[in-house]
Amino acid sequence: MNEITNDQQVILDTKSQKDVSNSELQQLYLTKLQAYSEQLTLQKSKRPTYFIQTFGCQQNENDSEIIAGIMDASGFALVENYEIADISIINTCSIRENADKRLFGHLGILKTLRQQNPQRFTMLCGCMMTQDQHLEKIKKSFSFVNLIFGPHDIFRLPQLLWDSLVNEKQVIAVSKQNLMVEQEHLPITRSRKFRALISIMYGCNNFCTFCIVPYTRGRELSRSFTSIYQEVVGLAKEGYTEIMLLGQNVNAWGKDFRGLIEGPKNFSELLEAVAQVDGLKRIRYMSPNPRDIDQQLIDIIGKYQNIEPHMHLPLQSGSDRILKLMRRKHDRAKYLEIVQQLRKARPDISLTTDIIVGFPGETEQDFADTLDLMRQVKFDSAFTFIYSPREGTPAAKYQNNLDPQVIKRRFERLVELQNAHSLEANQKVIGQTVEVLLEGVSHGDSNILTGRTADFKLINLAIPEEIREKLPVDATIDKNTLNSDYFEGKYCLVKLIKAKTFSIEGVMKQLIC
């Protein structure tokens, strides 16, 4: 494969790269790609197509929206699956072992499709591409892949795509230097009408012993307040009423500025500025780290009603000994203090979390400490995981003599307790009428809508006949199928009638807008 480092650029015929900025250079490549796709359209009587499969977090989703924006601007059309796509793109995740296995399973499918059609083009990107062991496996077993680039290289995708696709080269372009701020000048195709994702920073400086993120996403790098604020204002003008601010350690925004900037200097001040933008009804953020939560942030969350009454606050373990081995910067007392202050400032706040079971060296007492903290907090929901060693992290070298069956039983006990807490949290709101932002039609029933409350509870709701008969024609596809596009992004009032562990059933009382 042809390796391109961060410093190498293809020389344009019309202009020396020394005379243009990175953003101007990529725009020139976009123009060349547009001409190329137009030529293909004329030759084949249809637009060339692409499909993106995204694994992992919301930041990966936002990266995929930028990739889709580049593909759309280049003249390619989005399709629904690999089988009918001319270009297949996989945006990878390296957080857990299961994500690794899913990638190679999908590559097996694409390998078969490539054998059937040698003209197919395959792109891989995301966090897994920064890890040498995965690159070597791809080179050895999946050498048909045309283009590989890392999460730091999205800003130069137009150039890389041109060099690989048009010049028929196999290219690997994985930069170590974080230049993600360059991508804010690129087009973006947002995948949702109900929520806009906004990456405000990249990377992480915490180096928790179990986590691969600092090694794949790099050190913390904050976008400027001006660029974030302009994006938020623009989204509000486009009609978005809910946004989600993203970062691997979102509330560390601004720490790398070291106070040497004008305007907001930390996440609390940024959040307050965003909360004052006209038209925003819901401001979400994902994910904060307990180490960077202070009273200033808690007070601002309590002050502005359009800041979501919900916080996803990763715990990982309720044992101080395990937290120290994980190199987390909080302990039980600090975590419980944060919870207490959040509930004092915002009594209606819901709390969700991440918990790992079976971290190397975890004793029965350590596990009991976790269950005890869960009973004290009573999280509304939790992402729960059995520890999965990530090659390249310190914890992967820790001796782990835990019996897998012991871990399995602990995990089952933890899930049972959390499920009881989740159901209890949902039961508390039965009988209330709440505002729900609709996300579309339920995957399980085309006659049921799905959406979220302000505190992030998942609601599945039916439309009573007296409301349904007043809906416009384009609200339904037929008598048994609601039109998801019509409802996505609209608000409605819903009477909550039945609690389940992971969701609540309700009945629409009024469609607001």
Q: What is the pLDDT of residues 181-197, one digit of tens each?
A: 666 778 999 999 999 99
Picking from 221, 231, 235, 225, the residue whose alpha carbon sits closest to that of residue 151 is: 221
**Radius of gyration, CA atoms only, the chain:** 24
Q: Quote the pLDDT of residue 5.
A: 38
Instruction: Using pLDDT thresholds of 50, 70 and 90, give the confidence band for residue 416.
Output: very high
Q: Quote the pLDDT of residue 446.
A: 95
Q: Which tens digits make up the pLDDT trace of 41-79?
A: 999 999 999 999 999 889 999 999 999 999 999 999 999
Q: Which domains does the chain have, with CATH numbers?
A: 2-177 (3.40.50.12160), 192-308 (3.30.750.210), 313-428 (3.30.750.200), 433-511 (2.40.50.140)
Query: What is the DSSP-derived secondary structure letter of residue 262?
Result: S
Q: Is the pLDDT of residue 311 over 60?
A: yes
Q: Give 131's contacts (C-beta < 8 A, 6+ positions apart).
A: 94, 212, 215, 216, 391, 392
**How far is 392 from 122, CA to CA, in rounded Å?**
27
β-strands 310-312, 121-126 pairing: unpaired
State the average pLDDT over residues 2-22: 47
In contact, 359 and 317? CB cutoff 8 Å: yes
- For 487, the token pair is 């409802």
Q: Quote the pLDDT of residue 480.
A: 85
Single-letter amino acid code for the residue at 484? S
Single-letter amino acid code for the residue at 58? Q
- For 123, the token pair is 């792109």
Cis peptide bond prior to 287, omega within 30° of 0: yes
**How far is 368 from 353, CA to CA, in rounded Å?**
17
- For 341, the token pair is 């202050």
220-229, 360-369, 424-433: range with lowest mean pLDDT: 220-229
3-class secondary-structure state, position 494: strand
Q: Quick one: CA dihedral 474, 441, 438, 247, positive or negative?
A: negative
**How far is 472 from 492, CA to CA, in rounded Å?**
16
150-154, 278-282, 406-410, 420-424: range with lowest mean pLDDT: 150-154
In contact, 199 and 246? CB cutoff 8 Å: yes
Higher pLDDT, 17 or 188: 188
For the stretch 69-107, what's the b/e string if a residue is b when 16 or more beta carbons lie within 10 angstroms of its beta carbon?
bbbebbbbeebeebeebbbbbbbbbbbbeebbebbeebb
Look-up of token digits 């593909």: 71
Instruction: Using pLDDT thresholds of 50, 70 and 90, give the confidence band for residue 180.
Output: low
Q: Quote the pLDDT of residue 183.
A: 64
Residues β-bridged to residue 123 = 89, 147
pTM above 0.75, yes or no: yes
Count CB-CB contacts under 10 A for residue 258. Answer: 8
**How far is 69 from 49, CA to CA, in rounded Å?**
13
**How far is 368 from 317, CA to CA, in rounded Å?**
10
β-strands 504-511, 491-499 pairing: antiparallel
**How far is 110 from 52, CA to CA, in rounded Å?**
13
- Write down the mean pLDDT value for the chain: 92
**How far is 39 from 41, CA to CA, in rounded Å?**
5
Q: Which tens digits make up the pLDDT trace of 73-104?
A: 999 999 999 999 999 999 999 887 777 889 99
Q: Quick one: CA dihedral 505, 507, 512, 513, positive or negative?
A: positive
3-class secondary-structure state, position 469: coil
Q: Quote the pLDDT of residue 21.
A: 80
Q: Is the pLDDT of residue 12 over 80?
A: no
**How far is 180 from 248, CA to CA, in rounded Å?**
13
Picking from 90, 280, 61, the residue whose alpha carbon sits closest to that of residue 189 is: 61
Per-residue DSSP letters for 187-245?
A: ----S-SS-EEEE-EE--S---TT--HHHHT-S-EEPPHHHHHHHHHHHHHHT--EEEE
The Cβ-side half-sphere exposure at 156, using a 13 Å CA radius, reads 27
Q: Quote the pLDDT of residue 1.
A: 40
**How far is 262 from 223, CA to CA, in rounded Å?**
13
- For 508, the token pair is 């629409």
